[in-house]
Amino acid sequence: MKRSQTTLAGLADGGLVERYRAGSEQAGSLLVERHWPRAWRAAYAVLGDRSAADDAAQSAIERAFTEMHRFDTSRPFGPWIDRIAVNQALNILRARRREVELVGEFPVADLYPEIAERDEVVRALGTLSEEQRLVVVLRYWADMTPSEIAGALDAPVGTVSSRLARALVALRTVFEEVTPQ
């Protein structure tokens, strides 16, 4: 590894963003390397489809770099890229809904064995309504607060909180059925 790459690798995300804005492609590459898995997981949690998650995460990375001038370096980069990935995934869901009504379980192929253990969680999420699934993903994958979720979904905080509570009860029921005591 070159000395400049070693120096960049030791920087926090905010420092990498500043270096990227100043023209360092290496800083941009390090940001992608650090945050691609996180963006992909957020998209996968919304979509339940690995191929579509690839597309959403790729779009999120492209969008983040296009909008990098807007990023506030005093805030953490990870949740920002997660929100973009979730928004890209929501766009894909909206497009699907226009094409054909979503019915049944999410298709889950075995293309990425390193995340096979997450499949059960994604299947459980697939049993929720779209509204409940979105608040769970935004809360626990994108690490958004109920207020931030309310803003993203243009819904009252109380509505978000009640959807989240109902979703967690439903998930608990699903997991109790899978692992009887």
CATH code linked to domain 12-178: 1.10.1740.10
pTM above 0.85, yes or no: no
The angle subtended at Cα 70 by Cα 46 and Cα 3, nearest 5°, is 95
pLDDT value at position 3? 47
Spell out a b/e string for 55-77, using b for 16 or more CB atoms within 10 Å of the CB, else e.
Answer: ebbbbbbeebeeeeeebeeeeeb
Give the list of residues 6+ apart from residue 94 with CB closer than 8 angstroms, or none: none
Helix axes 13-21, 25-47, angle to 10 degrees: 120
First-to-last CA distance in the chain? 52
Per-residue pLDDT at 114 exceeds 70: no
pLDDT tens for 127-181 read: 888 888 888 888 887 778 898 888 777 789 999 999 999 999 998 888 777 665 5
What residue segments make up the domains of the chain, in order of their start? 12-178
Give the list of residues 6+ apart from residue 158 with CB closer than 8 angstroms, or none: none
> Per the structure block, which two tokens stand in for 84?
């973009």
